A and B are shown apart, each in its own frame.
Chain A
Amino acid sequence: GQQLNQSPQSMFIQEGEDVSMNCTSSSIFNTWLWYKQDPGEGPVLLIALYKAGELTSNGRLTAQFGITRKDSFLNISASIPSDVGIYFCAGQTYNNNDMRFGAGTRLTVKP
């Protein structure tokens, strides 16, 4: 099946620092998505990308859909304590309605 490799596995940063995480796949996806999950909650969609090369921002978050359609990155600028959580990338193809998730990046922000 399609495998998503997400890195880094965890990050410990100071408040105010920028963060970057990425996801690569062995297969092509038509949609890339980035989710955040807080403890005891389900994932919440942050950004969805639909076209190769697309760069999309949502406040302090910026994500890009790689040209090869096999990768994506998420940047968070000027991190704040509420950014703490687990971030997941997910990919979707036109033929499948399910999503394939990466293993997540656990972000810790020190005040």
Chain B
Amino acid sequence: GAGVSQTPSNKVTEKGKYVELRCDPISGHTALYWYRQSLGQGPEFLIYFQGTGAADDSGLPNDRFFAVRPEGSVSTLKIQRTERGDSAVYLCASSLRAGGLNEQFFGPGTRLTVL
């Protein structure tokens, strides 16, 4: 079946602009995760959803970052007033359920470049 998909694959924007990044999880997966990966680093946790609710948003760096999952499937990561330091690959992952025994499947990521 289809894996996790993310759109767009690349996004170039100017400092101060607003961006939305979309994630389509694997069908039937109730848990969805967002990570940010800077160049030369491992993924860094941002937020995870169980169903429609954000169960843990402790990784969001500041209030410019926000994510929603209104129907418990597709999720959108929203970044306001983008800064050059926001440039990174944003990865989405989904798992059947939350919890350490449930494998997280990653999408290919969205590469965000803020000029």
| Interface residues in chain A, defined as those with a beta carbon under 8 Å from any beta carbon in chain B | 4, 6, 30-31, 40-45, 48, 50, 88, 90, 92-94, 96-104
Contacts and interface: CB of A to CB of B under 8 A. Distances in A.
Contact of B42 (A40, A42, A45, A101): A101
Contact of B48 (A30, A48, A98): A98
B104 to A, nearest CB: 7
Nearest first, the 5 A-B pairs at minimum CB distance are: A42-B106, A101-B42, A98-B45, A31-B100, A92-B100
Nearest to A88: B42
Given A97-B48, A104-B41, 5 more contacts: A6-B42, A30-B100, A31-B101, A97-B98, A99-B43
Contact of A97 (B4, B56, B91): B56
A50 B44 contact: no
Interface string B50-83: 1000011011000000000000000000000000
Contacts of A104: 40-42
A43 B43 CA distance: 9
